[in-house]
Structure 1
């Protein structure tokens, strides 16, 4: 399976136009909305089959030029959605598809369109002779349909004396040949060079492409065709191991054109499908200042009919199965999991134009699920980087990050992100490696330093054992999870040249699955970012963040947790959270009624800190506390402290709270009803499939003063998914923490009166 990304050449201009790209919609685009649209579209498309089990409506006559194209397109779309959704009806062995598959296998296409769509459908079937044999026949037919000008026309067996090429058929010929290559049936490099030369020659001075010689007005759909065909061809013609950026005029001009002209409402669904391919092939998240997938998907969702179809005129076909197939392709492929985001900066950030694309292709084949990849600017809000579990930075020179860019990197890792930096060019790239170490250490406030990682490190063993692991892989941690992985080993060279004999691919796979927490893969839309949504608050919650211990105490391992918690309370609970850092030695219940304490490592307090903490509890203050990452050393020392402050026989109880306790249940104003919780995969290995919260309460003088969770809340609140964290999933931590905050705040207000 292909991640739809053969090559991304120099798209710097496009990304530069999108520095502060934002999309606003009345109803935010969510994965649930897209999934629901896909399901309804699939239902409608399956219902529109003919009695023969195909989709031959407009071209049912076997003698018609495009016979077979409709069925091939519908099958292609459904198989793609089947890679995207857990729908048994869409698997190659499903009864619902068998007659269509048999039809496509036997098809002898007469047109380039039908042949291309047949090739794309066959390429998604298992690599067995009954599928690869007709695919090879179609590949040969497509290659033989090339006209003297190196373009393609309508006919698969053209009379060259009368045939004319056009850029739409030429685009589909390239797509069909590429699909065959993806299934292991390649074409000579010279053919791809010929195709590349054709499209470069057809580029116009305004950066666009037109349909054909008698219709020379450039347009969005044909420009998308030109850009994507050059990207496809250069996968085969350019795998150079550069240290500097390549200046590609046709691609830069074409992407500029798309950035200036992009508007989904200007395109039919054939054109929208073409533009989507550019987005996925180039890795570009934005066209100009606009998020092409979000805007395109929103446009499609508004167009979907109540019965699930889309109905627009394409190729003179008015029946909805063609439009519906193109819409399903756009929605499904654009929501694939994003492997890594690659960071653009002012320097050779993308000298290896195919490295991440090659890695994503390998991952797609290994995991048997398509992965996308993206390029993102270092000047956008770091929330835009959170739709992938890790941020890849490559280079051979000092990136010269500005203070604003360094702040963005800090925000990203504090929001649960993982940075993965790769020095290219061996010793020629030493300046990059030296600079990266300095930047990474600085974003932690110089609290953490890189250390060498061995093969047994969780970040290098979450996917599988790595043979011949290079010695120069380093990690920087907050004590709970890796924040930054760096290597001077030129892994990019292996990805760029598809050298799978090296450990470069396994290293990246382990980092990816580590960053995902070895949980079910999230789609592109399932970002952990929580946007600001200011509105009229029903309450203001004042929270003291407790600083404890000496200078080396790890009391603030997840500084991003409370900013994100504040946005959750703002968005979902009409609450304004105001936090301040308060030293435990200065904690006073008269001024701080509600506090949160957490940490990593052994908790060692001075006499004054212990005295202040007991006075806070005795005075009726309320505290929430958790072991960050589920750290056992902190949990053990914290529980020992509580037993020391309130030994047996005192007027205090420290006991497990019932699941129905009001602190969890959310059965109060602006709370969220909580009937069950989910623990992370690592925690489930120890406690099994428990679905009740495991929190302890300390009551002093019959008043609840502490809610304690030995399982992590804070890393979840930060948005961290990394393997090694023991606690609640992000979603459960979010709801549980909001409910506890609202409940404890209400108690604190009552006691303060």
Structure 2
């Protein structure tokens, strides 16, 4: 028999189920989300800078500039330019920086690097090198990062350093393996038995020990940093060094010592995915069962967006409208102020300014980390993430390519290499068309596509340029760079799209159809500089 209390519990449960069922499905493209972001950006563009208890003037300029740039892509906006100026100020101060109590310099250096790498990694490469070298100098002996005057590591600061390292790796910089492994080991040694993390880490020395000040926001920061660090080491997919440079490059232009250097770097990775699986499982359980409470709401939501976005890499699956995002959107709909800001309503802003909270809210709403990672569900490899196992197939219907389970990508190659190439239209290629999952077969397909880049038929060159972007093979980048000078009006544009996919520089370059010679030259210079930053020993030759 149900008593009154049982009926109350049942009705509550049914109400919660019904509420969840009717929850709106949001995404960054949803009109309500876009309207919120627009109002938040307008606030950051025009608002006054007033630091909170845990803010600095420079820090606010950095995070506001970064949020507005990620939301708009407009580096010319005054707030973005001011953020860049603040970043340059921070970088200039690093070589002679001295300990200053609980200075926010580690946070500031991290966000400065992320902002500069996002706006123009090539232009600001010297500054990024300075930050990377400085991180190596201030990393604690236990592998963590924190206040310079304290021996302990700080979970919150660790997450921003790791995000900065990941961002720098994506723009072609060599992040020291040992630095990343030491940070991962620090996070492993400071996890709480509950699967959460505290503020200043208590080292476990091989054991899991109770941490101090464990909260949901810090725990989300900890698991996010751990997974991002694992991604830096390539635990969740092949990374950029998946193929030796001898493959597809004339032997005369490959140095033997460079090959040995790459092989040595591969051996440097001593950790494996199995070393962190237990911590990840416990942390995932904590995230699923412990709700957020107290201050730091928007800081936590941005940490959550990073964590969930990288977890999508682990599962190789992206949900356009996940429950955690819908919940966050609904919270932010209630909490946005009349002036477009967040933080002044609902008691969420306690230690940081409304500009900082607004920046965090915007970065959450636009799914900024997912945008940096790229889509995982389009049969395209972004920065080394693995291709799906199935191979979509095609056939010709008249002069058009359509999907068909009876043929394969091999048919397309045969058509391109034969007399039927002129009938192949790149715009009609199936969206999910992939190269072979088998490594040997895919290598052979990539080699054939590379040869087709110099085909006499423009249609073949266009399709080859398109598919090489899905090859997960950075050794093809020089071939695509050469294709930027192709006389066809469309091949350069397609080749640059593929370079963006291979490099994960998804916002770089904007070649359109029929680019001018000056635009082609500028694009070629840009991508050559990017590739030389990744492989400085490579020699480009005129053809």
Which protein is richer in helix relative to its size?
A: 2
Q: Which residue of 2 aligns with 1:341?
A: 377
For residue 339 of structure 2, the aligned residue among 282, 298, 307 is 307
Indicate the structure (1 or 2) with the bigger Cα radius of gyration: 1
Q: Which of the residues 350, 358, 362 maps onto 1:328?
A: 362
Shift of 1:270: 0.7
The answer as to 2:166 corresponding to 1:178 is: yes
> What is the alpha-carbon distance in structure 2 between the residues aligned to residue 236 and residue 71 of structure 1?
28
Counterpart mapping for 1:312-711 below 5 A: 317-333=351-367, 336=371, 339-341=375-377, 359-361=381-383, 393-394=388-389, 420-421=390-391, 449-452=405-408, 453-455=411-413, 462=426, 487-490=436-439, 499-501=473-475
CA distance in 1: counterparts of 2:442 and 2:40, whole angstroms: 39
1:77 maps to 67
Alpha-carbon shift at residue 260 of structure 1 (Å): 2.3
Structure 1 residues 218 and 290, CA gap change in structure 2 (3 angstroms)? farther
User: Among residues 216, 221, 236, which one is paired with 1:220 in the alignment?
Assistant: 216
Q: Deviations over 1:530-549 (max 9, x none)?
A: xxxxxxxxxxxxxxxxxxxx
Give the aligned partner of residue 191 of structure 1: 179
Question: 1:276 Cα shift?
Answer: 0.9
> Alpha-carbon deviations, 1:349-378, whole Å to 9, x = none?
xxxxxxx8x92247xxxxxxxxxx9x9xxx
Question: d(CA) in 2 for partners of 1:359 and 1:483?
Answer: 11
Higher relative contact order (CA 8 A, sep 6+): 2
Q: Please give the alpha-carbon distance, in whole angstroms, between the structure 2 residues aligned to 1:138 and 1:120.
A: 10
Contact 1:66 1:114 in 2 (8 A): no
Q: Secondary structure at the match of 2:375?
A: strand
- TM-score, structure 1 as length reference: 0.41
- Equivalenced residues, count: 361
Q: Paired residue for 1:169?
A: 157
Counterpart secondary structure, 1:125: helix
CA distance change for structure 1 residues 361 and 294 in 2, over 3 Å: closer, same or farther?
A: farther
| Residue in structure 2 matching 1:125, options 119, 125, 131 | 119
Taking a change above 3 Å as real, the CA distance of residues 338 and 301 of structure 1, as seen in their structure-2 partners, is: farther
Residue 94 of structure 1 aligns with which residue?
Answer: 77
How big is the shift at 1:237? 2.7
Q: Which TM-score applies when normalising by structure 2?
A: 0.55
**Residues 65 and 81, structure 2, Cα contact 8 Å, conserved in 1:** no
Q: CA deviation at 1:286?
A: 8.9
Partner of 1:105: 88
The answer on whether the counterparts of 1:44 and 1:309 sit within 8 Å (CA) in structure 2 is yes
Helix, strand or coil: the match of 2:340?
A: coil
Q: Distance in 2 between matches of 1:483 and 1:178?
A: 27
Structure 1 residues 460, 249: closer, same or farther in 2, change over 3 A? farther
Larger strand share, 1 or 2: 1
Between the aligned partners of 1:222 and 1:123, the Cα distance in structure 2 is 26
Q: Cα RMSD over matched residues?
A: 4.7
Contact kept in structure 1, 2:190 and 2:201, CA below 8 Å = no
The gaps in structure 2 that reach 5 residues or longer are: 1-16, 95-102, 203-210, 239-271, 394-402, 447-468, 481-492, 495-543
**Residue 464 (structure 1) shift:** 11
Q: Does 1:277 align with 2:306?
A: yes
Residues 497 and 56 (structure 1 numbering): CA distance in 2 closer, same or farther, change over 3 Å?
A: farther
Residue pair 1:264, 1:299 contacting (<8 A) in 2 also = no
Contact 1:270 1:314 in 2 (8 A): no
Give the corresponding residue for 1:44.
43
